[in-house]
Amino acid sequence: MKNLARKNILKIKPYIPGKPIEELKRELGLEEAIKLASNENAFPPSRDAIRAAEKSLRSINRYPDGGCFYLKKALAGRLKVKPENIIVGNGSDEIIVLALRAFVKPLDEVIIAKPTFLIYEIASKVHDAKIKFAPLKDLRYDVKKIASLISKKTKLIFIANPDNPTGTYITKDEMEFLISRIPKNTILFIDEAYFEFAEDVKDYPKTKKYLEKKNIIITRSFSKIYSLAGLRVGYGMAREGIIDCLNRAREPFNVNSVAQAAAVAALSDAKHVEKTKKLVENGKRFLCEKLDSMGIGYVPSVTNFLLFKVNKDGKKIYRKLLRRGVIVREMSAWKLDNCIRVTVGTMPENKKFIKALKESLP
Ligand SMILES: Cc1ncc(COP(=O)(O)O)c(C=O)c1O
């Protein structure tokens, strides 16, 4: 079958998802296992969101609202932009794909940091884009390097802010420098999937105000702070002209009706957001203190996860953690050897992880 595939498709390393918890338990004969591998919210969704999702199930004989009318209206009110400046996606991931579909033709250039969120590279390869990589500097995006790679052929620049897997962020000054270097025919794609965890950091940029000045797409997610990862819903903001192009590239019913209903309800539950922020702050502090006391270096993070380095074989430690019922991400796919990324969980989960880590280190 491989001889039928496009050449670029064969160059893509498939994204390897983690094992389902139940499967891991069965395989290793564990009574309990916890997943701290995908930067999800440890809390279940808000009760209002669950109720709205359940109610919407009664009409899943109908197609969803292809225009996401109510969700866009709710987002527009919240974000103080017009519904015409918003697109909703099957996760914010889908908007990455739509941007490539709408704006990038084969051999157009895209700029991507290395390492960063893997989907930018995978989706760009699917679209036969020419990728220019900008290596991180001290595990942070290097905006000068990115600016130096811009050419007349650059169509899209992908920025994860905050970044995954490092948890670091581009400051307001760095973002302003980058925005000042964006030519007329280039779109800056700012992925803010972890926005809510970073928004209170003093020099984290408030990018919404640049939307009308330049060709910028900002994406955010319901998967993280709103606990709706399983429903797949995220959104993008941009000038009307950009949103119009993204909509033309979109499948008509890309966001299912249960996701739309749950997202509308989740948006008005401010308590859930505050509760999650507190959980993550306290959990992160606990994890940092424990890693400090074990002499393990980690990257200061403004997200709901931490990247740390073990002195020994990271894959081995990862497997030892698995056997103790703790699923984390080992980072060799990102070429961050001996690094592990752990999502902040509930306090009992964080404690279980630290105990398992202590037992796993030689
Ligand atoms: C940087 C980044 N962007 C986007 C996503 C995907 O978000 P969504 O679930 O909205 O597709 C993730 C998920 O882990 C992420 O880390």
Q: Which domains does the chain have, with CATH numbers?
A: 2-32+271-360 (3.90.1150.10), 47-269 (3.40.640.10)
**Contact between residue 231 and residue 264 where contact means Cβ atoms under 8 Å apart:** no
Is 193's C-beta closer than 6 angstroms to any atom of ligand 1?
yes
> Given the DSSP bridges, would you call strands 326-327 and 305-309 parallel, antiparallel or unpaired?
unpaired
User: Alpha helix (H) ranges present in the chain?
Assistant: 7-11, 21-28, 47-57, 69-79, 92-103, 118-126, 143-149, 172-180, 195-198, 240-249, 257-267, 270-293, 314-323, 347-360
Is 191's C-beta closer than 6 angstroms to any atom of ligand 1?
yes
Is 91's C-beta closer than 6 angstroms to any atom of ligand 1?
yes
> Given the DSSP bridges, would you call strands 187-191 and 326-327 parallel, antiparallel or unpaired?
unpaired
Q: Whose Cα sits closest to atom 6 in ligand 1?
A: 93
Specify the DSSP element, H or E, that contains 319.
helix 314-323
Is 349's C-beta closer than 6 angstroms to any atom of ligand 1?
no
Is 41's C-beta closer than 6 angstroms to any atom of ligand 1?
no
Taking the centre of ligand 1 as the mean of its atom positions, its distance from the CA of residue 91, in whole angstroms, is 7
Q: Using most ligand atoms within 8 A of CB, pick from 75, 119, 158, 235 the residue to mutate for ligand 1.
A: 119
- If one counts every other C-beta atom within 10 angstroms of the C-beta of residue 158, the result is 27
Is 92's C-beta closer than 6 angstroms to any atom of ligand 1?
yes
Q: Using most ligand atoms within 8 A of CB, pick from 189, 223, 225, 235 the residue to mutate for ligand 1.
A: 223
pLDDT of amino acid 311: 80
- pLDDT per residue of the chain (362 residues) written in tens, 0 to 9: 778 998 888 988 887 777 788 988 898 899 999 999 999 999 999 999 999 999 999 999 999 999 999 999 999 999 999 999 999 999 999 999 999 999 999 999 999 999 999 999 999 999 999 999 999 999 999 999 999 999 999 999 999 999 999 999 999 999 999 999 999 999 999 999 999 999 999 999 999 999 988 999 999 999 999 999 999 999 999 999 999 999 999 999 999 999 999 999 999 999 999 999 999 999 999 999 999 999 999 999 999 999 999 987 889 999 999 999 999 999 998 999 899 999 999 999 999 999 999 999 97
Q: Whose Cα sits closest to atom 12 in ligand 1?
A: 193
Is 162's C-beta closer than 6 angstroms to any atom of ligand 1?
no
Taking the centre of ligand 1 as the mean of its atom positions, its distance from the CA of residue 213, in whole angstroms, is 26
Is 350's C-beta closer than 6 angstroms to any atom of ligand 1?
no
Is 234's C-beta closer than 6 angstroms to any atom of ligand 1?
yes
Q: Using most ligand atoms within 8 A of CB, pick from 117, 232, 303 the residue to mutate for ligand 1.
A: 117
Taking the centre of ligand 1 as the mean of its atom positions, its distance from the CA of residue 69, in whole angstroms, is 23
Instruction: Look up tokens 């401010």; give the residue.
Output: 270
pLDDT of amino acid 279: 97
Ligand 1 atom closest to the CA of 38, numbered from 1: 14
pLDDT of amino acid 13: 84
Q: Whose Cα sits closest to atom 7 in ligand 1?
A: 92
- If one counts every other C-beta atom within 10 angstroms of the C-beta of residue 267, the result is 20
CA–CA separation, 189 and 207 (whole Å)? 11
pLDDT of amino acid 17: 76
pLDDT of amino acid 238: 98
Is 116's C-beta closer than 6 angstroms to any atom of ligand 1?
no
Is 40's C-beta closer than 6 angstroms to any atom of ligand 1?
no
**Contact between residue 52 and residue 265 where contact means Cβ atoms under 8 Å apart:** yes
Taking the centre of ligand 1 as the mean of its atom positions, its distance from the CA of residue 38, in whole angstroms, is 9
124 token code pair: 């760009």
Is 305's C-beta closer than 6 angstroms to any atom of ligand 1?
no
Is 117's C-beta closer than 6 angstroms to any atom of ligand 1?
yes
pLDDT of amino acid 301: 98
pTM given for the model = 0.97
